[in-house]
Amino acid sequence: MVPNALIHETATNDSPTSRLSGWWVSYRSRLTPYLFIAPNLVLFSIFIFFPLFFAAYISVHEWSLIDTPLYLGAENYTRLLTDYQFWQAMKNTVLYSVATVPTSLALGLALAIGLNRKLFARTLLRSVYFLPVVVSSVATAIISAWLFNDHYGVVNALFKLIGMQPISWLSTTQWALPSIIITTLWTRVGFCMVVYLAALQSIPLNYYEAASIDGATRLQQFRYVTWPQLRPTTFLLLILNVIHSFQVFDLIFVMTGGGPGFSTTMIVQYIYQSAFASSEMGYASAMGIVLFLMILLFTLLQWRVNRRTEDFL
Amino acid sequence: MVTTASPAQRRMETFALWALLAAGALIMIFPIYWMFATAIRPKDQIFSASTGILPTGWVWRNFADALNHMPFLHWFWNSTVIAVVAVVITVSINLLCGYAFAKFRFAGRDVLFLTVLSALMIPVQVIIVPLFFVVSDLGLLNSYWGVILPRAAEAFGIFMVRQFMVSIPDELLEAARLDGASELTIFRKIVLPLSKPIIAVLIIFTFMWRWNDFVMPLLMLTDQDMYTVQLGLNLLKGQYNTEWTDIMSIALLSLVPMLVIFVFFQRQLIQGIAGTGLK
């Protein structure tokens, strides 16, 4: 209090100009946090928030880039309902997500539990599982296309070696998606493993001691200690992986280009094609908005469900 | 976990587990190894399907050939400029922004923070069409800035910085303020030196995201002179006559910066991922 009063006194004794500068100083100090945030906020506004609103605007128009946009109302959205290719892309995306998400989580958890024990060369093993995380999707797609090559791929060479029929991985509608799913697992398990490892290490050891004193088997320890303790981590990984799967693009774009036929075309790829190959900006934007709502809905839904089950336990 | 099995049984079990994990690790590393093995293989042996797993010859010249066949070094330069400039911008503004959210009280702070977090829910893939027009209208197509700016603000980074800086003691900042230090000086002289661990994490992740990015360059760079490494790789993959030794050499070279980071900064990578589950 005392220094404050002192400042006050000197201020009243001073000339108007320094009073003005005093005001300026306090004004500036109040402005500081806004100035610190400003660059980010400006960039977010221009490159994320505005485009989202702009997408909503374009999505109710017909627009092929050259002519002026023509208002259509909800027509682009109703067209989605009957567009066979859109539903095919949707089906592919859901199938891809269902195949990749639980598997990545399960493998990641298994690896984390295994590599959380004291083992020979544990650090090296962890590194190897983690390595694909830093490899770009494009490089991954290229390696994978070479491994799964119908005629000269090492996978088929291995199949022949053990007396199995080689498979036309990337040139048949039946096997292209499985090849992509296997490749995706390669890139994702290390990520899930790292997150699970960190979570496992934060579970207090005395929980396990208490459980084993109570005569819990290892399976029971997992069921009643590990699994419930990992719930928030599992939830986080579930959301992140679903979002990644729903917006998958790079890997498939380079590996199969969405083919053969339409068998590996995912939603984002179809958006890209509609916009930049067929010049249907409005229609592509409508799909973007639908995808956005799906991702948003899933995030919110999972968040609520998870919170509710946690209240129960 | 605490177990009740006999020591011998436990040793057997541990060995079986180790064997399983090691076999899995071999499968995980194989694609990278195979890329290398293909890159240095004599060109005439690529298509003889029965060539063994081990390299039959070490043709290092394949790398030189590949570099002669395509402007990889030029792509590498473009990628480097984009990634380095993006790191400088993104890391600086994320640090400033995260610091403001962590250490200042101001009107509208929570709303603004939620706004920033909501940017996390808008994946770039759902706005590729309008984003293309924004960049095009700003006249930034086929320029480095067209790739750098749209993703320069990164909500994950802000979030991480805020979490980290909340634990910096307020007394430290107040003391400096009483000494008459300006806010920017406080930020530079006190906050930044204390934040080295998080800065390292930010630099590494931002570099990785920009170096590996494909969507932005694909949308914004159509001029082959502007191609990044990832676009170049995609171009090679699409070419009709697929020269696999060339492609694998180039793909392997494209991984070098990330492999260097992986070897030297694995701790930061793991810390960043484990901390907030980001990629």
Contact partners, residue A126, CB within 8 Å, separation at least 6 = A115, A193, A197
Give the closest-approach CA distance of B93 to chain A in angstroms.
Answer: 6
> Are B129 and A288 in contact (CB < 8 Å)?
yes
pLDDT of residue A284: 92
pLDDT by residue (tens digit) across B79-135? 999 999 999 999 999 999 999 999 888 888 999 998 888 887 788 888 998 999 999
**Integer Cα distance of B38 and B62 in angstroms:** 10
Domains of chain A, first to last: 2-59 (no CATH), 79-312 (1.10.3720.10)
Identify the sign of the CA torsion A202, A191, B116, A296.
negative
What part of A 16-75 touches B (C-beta under 8 Å)? 29-30, 32-34, 36-37, 39-41, 43-44, 46-52, 54-55, 58
DSSP string, chain A: -HHHHHHHHHHHHS-HHHHHHHHHHHHHHHHHHHHHHHHHHHHHIIIIIHHHHHHHHHHTEE--SSS--EE-TTHHHHHHHH-HHHHHHHHHHHHHHHHHHHHHHHHHHHHHHHHTS--TTHHHHHHHHHGGGGS-HHHHHHHHHHHT-TTT-HHHHHHHHTTPPP--TTTSHHHHHHHHHHHHHHHHHHHHHHHHHHHHHTS-HHHHHHHHHTT--HHHHIIIIIHHHTHHHHHHHHHHHHHHHHT--HHHHHHTTT-STTTT--HHHHHHHHHHTS--HHHHHHHHHHHHHHHHHHHHHHHHHHHHHHHH-
> Are B127 and A52 in contact (CB < 8 Å)?
yes
Q: Is the model's pLDDT at B242 over the cut of 80?
A: no
Give the closest-approach CA distance of B251 to chain A in angstroms.
Answer: 6
DSSP string, B211-274: HH--HHHHHH--SGGG--HHHHHHHHHH-SS--HHHHHHHHHHHHHHHHHHHHHSHHHHHHHHH
Closest chain B residue to the Cα of A57, Cα to Cα:
B130
Give the closest-approach CA distance of A83 to chain B in angstroms.
Answer: 19
Q: Is the model's pLDDT at B276 over the cut of 80?
A: no
Average pLDDT over residues B198-202: 90
Kindly give the pairing relationship between strand A70-71 and strand A61-62: antiparallel
Question: Which chain B positions have a beta carbon within 8 Å of A63's beta carbon?
Answer: none
The pair phi, psi for residue A26, each rounded to 5°, is -70, -35
Residue A171 in contact with partner chain B when CB distance is under 8 A: no
Contact partners, residue B162, CB within 8 Å, separation at least 6 = B98, B99, B101, B102, B113
Largest Cα separation within chain A, whole Å, is 98
Question: Which chain B positions have a beta carbon within 8 Å of A237's beta carbon?
Answer: 277
pLDDT of residue A12: 44
Q: Is the model's pLDDT at B247 over the cut of 90?
A: no
Average pLDDT over residues B181-197: 90
**Integer Cα distance of B86 and B153 in angstroms:** 10
Residue A76 in contact with partner chain B when CB distance is under 8 A: no
pLDDT of residue B83: 96
Residue A218 in contact with partner chain B when CB distance is under 8 A: yes
Residue B173 in contact with partner chain A when CB distance is under 8 A: no
Closest chain B residue to the Cα of A275, Cα to Cα:
B129
Closest chain B residue to the Cα of A193, Cα to Cα:
B274
pLDDT of residue A312: 45
Residue B208 in contact with partner chain A when CB distance is under 8 A: yes
Contact partners, residue B175, CB within 8 Å, separation at least 6 = none
Average pLDDT over residues B23-31: 95
Closest chain B residue to the Cα of A225, Cα to Cα:
B1
Alpha-carbon distances, residue A298 vs A23, A112, A238, A242 (angstroms): 49, 26, 10, 9
pLDDT by residue (tens digit) across B155-179? 888 988 998 898 889 988 989 888 8
The more confident residue out of B271 and B158 is B158
> Are B153 and A44 in contact (CB < 8 Å)?
yes
Of A51, A129, A250, the CB nearest to B215: A250
pLDDT of residue A183: 96
Question: Which chain B positions have a beta carbon within 8 Å of A41's beta carbon?
Answer: 97, 112, 115-116, 153
Contact partners, residue A18, CB within 8 Å, separation at least 6 = A11
Q: What is the dihedral of CA A199, A200, A206, A209, to 10 degrees?
A: 160
Average pLDDT over residues B235-249: 79
Supply the ipTM of this predicted assembly. Answer: 0.89
**Integer Cα distance of A200 and B273 in angstroms:** 14
Mean pLDDT of each 10-residue bin along chain A, 313 residues long: 42 53 70 90 93 91 79 84 92 96 96 91 92 94 91 85 86 92 96 92 89 88 90 86 91 90 92 89 92 86 65 45
The fold for domain B72-276 equals MetI-like fold (1.10.3720)
Question: Which chain B positions have a beta carbon within 8 Å of A111's beta carbon?
Answer: 21, 24
pLDDT of residue A17: 58
CB A252 within 8 A of CB B97: no
Listed by start position, the domains of chain B span 7-64, 72-276
Mean pLDDT of the residues in chain B: 87
> Are B279 and A236 in contact (CB < 8 Å)?
no
pLDDT of residue A1: 38
**Integer Cα distance of B154 and B169 in angstroms:** 26
pLDDT by residue (tens digit) across B38-75? 888 877 676 665 556 776 677 788 888 888 888 899 99
**Integer Cα distance of B90 and A39 in angstroms:** 10
Question: Which chain A positions have a beta carbon within 8 Å of B112's beta carbon?
Answer: 37, 41
> Are B28 and A131 in contact (CB < 8 Å)?
yes
What percent of chain B is modeled with pLDDT above 70? 91
Predicted TM-score (pTM) above 0.95: no
Of A44, A147, A211, the CB nearest to B119: A44
Residue A237 in contact with partner chain B when CB distance is under 8 A: yes
Question: Which chain B positions have a beta carbon within 8 Å of A121's beta carbon?
Answer: 22
The more confident residue out of B241 and A40 is A40
